[in-house]
Chain A
Amino acid sequence: MTAFDNKKGRSILQAMVRSIQQNKTHLSDIDGLIGDGDHGINMNKGFSLFEKEYKDKELSFNEGLEKLGTTLMNKIGGSMGSIYGTLFIGMGEAGSRLTKISLADLTAMIEKGYSKLSEIIEARPGDKTLIDTLAPALESLKKSTEKKEDFKTALIKMKAAAKAGSDSTRELKARYGRASRLGERSIGVPDAGSVSCRLLLAAMGDAIVELLE
């Protein structure tokens, strides 16, 4: 139970697509509270477009991430198209030479995606964005890698860290993105991007557990 086959990664991407499709309305509703209410609609459109385009094609985990990222970046736009596009393309590139993906590999992939993302957005932890989900999730994976914990345990901890990070945005004042102009009025509502990021990481984690060998 220390790695999964990169080639079998399609099921992970499918799980990520499903998590967005199933939460389309929920994400838009959250976004509507302090944003413009289109987060679920646009994410669903992008992920569903990817699903349709690559339905019958062979895809490894890293290829799938790159294709999904490219679809979001080139077809959807908005801020989320660029943000998730950059993250997934970065992750995919970092995994391009891997046959088996270990905990350390997955950590390195997410780290690469996160660093690419940092080049295009200035948001840092505490700004009430998806970074508040992504950063603690990555941190948790890094710790697990250092401690040589088993992959499944690391994924469970990563999910918990992502959820805690996403939940923390509820009490934060937005300092980046569209909601930042609301100041105090943004407090009490979670950030929609942090919620979609949590859903995606959870779906990814659960699907990887099924593939561990």
Chain B
Amino acid sequence: MQRIINDPDNIVDEMLEGFLKAHADIVEATANPRVIKARNIPGAKVGIITGGGSGHKPAFIGYVGKNMCDAAAVGEIFSSPTAAAFLDAAKVADQKKGVACLYGNYSGDNMNVKMAVAMAKKEGIAIKTVIANDDVASAPADQREKRRGVAGEIFMWKVGAAKAAQGASLDEVIAAAQKAVDSTRSVGIGLSPCTLPAADHPNFAIKPSTMEIGIGHHGEPGMKVEPLGSAEDIAKIMVNIVLPDYPFKEGDQTAVLVSGLGATPVMELYVLYNEIEKLLQQKGIKIYKNYVGNYFTSLEMKGATFTMMKLDDELKELIDMPACSMGLKEGVCS
């Protein structure tokens, strides 16, 4: 694997140094080298924090910024941040109005957040959590609590952070973020695997001319492997998995996010979006807002995820609120 790296063991720290330099207008370092915070966190609002393993850029630090997450804990590649990092993120974001920790459903993150929450409470921080579980392929509908969080986490952060920016209470922020999660469904399709920088071979295999439907953000095996189809075929498969699960219906207003997994050219994401848009139009589902690009990746995996959130008036207002982070900008950054 040809890479632009130094020592693979230092890749996360060196990436963070570069990120902080490149986006110094949006984020800044904290006393904990594995916690990044937004510049100028406005006081007197609920703090929004997240965190997760590295290798998913722009997630997670790319969603720290104005009217987005206030701080993010950073883990090793594909590995949860430490409980200490989640705790320090909570401390940095705490403005005595409570802290909402919005993160994805993975056993490592669950464990470390659980420990961090216990420690934060001991230190007098009011902290509550919302756990994203939007990945339809990762468990059946009757076991939704087991599903992983994938690109839908971005909607959870956007909505929760906007609610906090409006001056809502911790319980209101938690309720809004939970509503975003409950209204969101995702699915991923993988075309080629990824390799951890410290490893010398891919950590799973996708045979040539095949695609893995329902693949996870770390290459967790999906529902099934099929011969690689056209963009039209892939769009149909994705739409047919996501729509019935919620279920999304004719007349629904939605936000649609098509994200690359790292190595798929952005050009192809637009081809995929075009096909998805046609299918949704046929079904009478309206796309109120769309996002196409590399929003939540998995190192250099090839493939894409399709995420859809059903909008009501509250979610529309929150999704429209101006925001400025590296990964998501709404309106003009100031």
Interface of A toward B, CB cutoff 8 Å: 28, 31-32, 34-38, 41-42, 45, 73-83, 120-121, 176-178, 180-182, 185
Closest residue on chain A to residue B219 by CB atoms: A36
Which residues of the partner chain B approach A42 to less than 8 Å between Cβ atoms?
76, 79
- Please list 18 pairs of residues, one from A and one from B, whose beta carbons are closer than 8 Å in the complex, sorted by A's number: A28-B203, A34-B221, A37-B199, A38-B78, A42-B79, A45-B9, A73-B83, A74-B82, A74-B84, A76-B76, A77-B79, A78-B80, A81-B112, A82-B82, A177-B107, A178-B218, A181-B147, A181-B216
Which residues of the partner chain B approach A178 to less than 8 Å between Cβ atoms?
106-107, 218, 220
Please report which residues of chain B, range 56-98, place their CB below 8 angstroms from some CB of chain A when the two chains form the complex. Answer: 75-85
Given contacts A37-B219, A121-B111, A181-B139, contact A77 B81 (CB under 8 A): yes
Which residues of the partner chain A approach B76 to less than 8 Å between Cβ atoms?
38, 42, 45, 76-78
CA distance A208 to B88 in the complex (A): 38
Which residues of the partner chain A approach B84 to less than 8 Å between Cβ atoms?
73-74
Contact at B146–A180, with CB atoms within 8 Å? yes
- Interface of chain B, main secondary structure: loop
CA distance A185 to B225 in the complex (A): 13
Which residues of the partner chain A approach B77 to less than 8 Å between Cβ atoms?
38
Closest residue on chain B to residue A180 by CB atoms: B146
Q: Smallest distance from the beta carbon of B257 to chain A beta carbons, Å?
A: 22
Contact at B82–A181, with CB atoms within 8 Å? no
Q: Return the CB mask of B110-122 against A: 1 if under 8 Å, else 0.
A: 0110110000000
CA distance A181 to B75 in the complex (A): 22
- For residue B303, CB closer than 8 A to chain A, the reply is no
Contact at A79–B78, with CB atoms within 8 Å? no
Which residues of the partner chain B approach A34 to less than 8 Å between Cβ atoms?
221
CA distance A35 to B219 in the complex (A): 8
- For residue B148, CB closer than 8 A to chain A, the reply is yes
CA distance A32 to B114 in the complex (A): 26
17 new A-B contacts, CB < 8 A, other than A82-B111, A82-B112, are: A28-B203, A31-B203, A36-B218, A36-B220, A37-B196, A38-B76, A38-B78, A73-B83, A73-B84, A74-B82, A74-B84, A76-B76, A76-B79, A79-B80, A82-B80, A178-B218, A178-B220
Given contacts A177-B107, A180-B146, contact A37 B203 (CB under 8 A): yes
- For residue B138, CB closer than 8 A to chain A, the reply is yes
Q: Smallest distance from the beta carbon of A36 to chain B beta carbons, Å?
A: 4
Which residues of the partner chain B approach A37 to less than 8 Å between Cβ atoms?
196, 199, 203-204, 219
The 8 Å CB contact of A78, one of B75, B147, B198, is: B75
Contact at B146–A77, with CB atoms within 8 Å? no
Contact at A28–B148, with CB atoms within 8 Å? no
Which residues of the partner chain B approach A80 to less than 8 Å between Cβ atoms?
108
CA distance A49 to B230 in the complex (A): 47
CA distance A81 to B204 in the complex (A): 23
Most chain B beta-carbon contacts within 10 A, residue among A73, A82, A181: A181
Contact at A28–B108, with CB atoms within 8 Å? no
- For residue B53, CB closer than 8 A to chain A, the reply is yes
The 8 Å CB contact of B220, one of A78, A121, A182, is: A182
Which residues of the partner chain B approach A79 to less than 8 Å between Cβ atoms?
80, 107-108, 111
Contact at A38–B146, with CB atoms within 8 Å? no
Q: Smallest distance from the beta carbon of A154 to chain B beta carbons, Å?
A: 31
Contact at A78–B204, with CB atoms within 8 Å? no
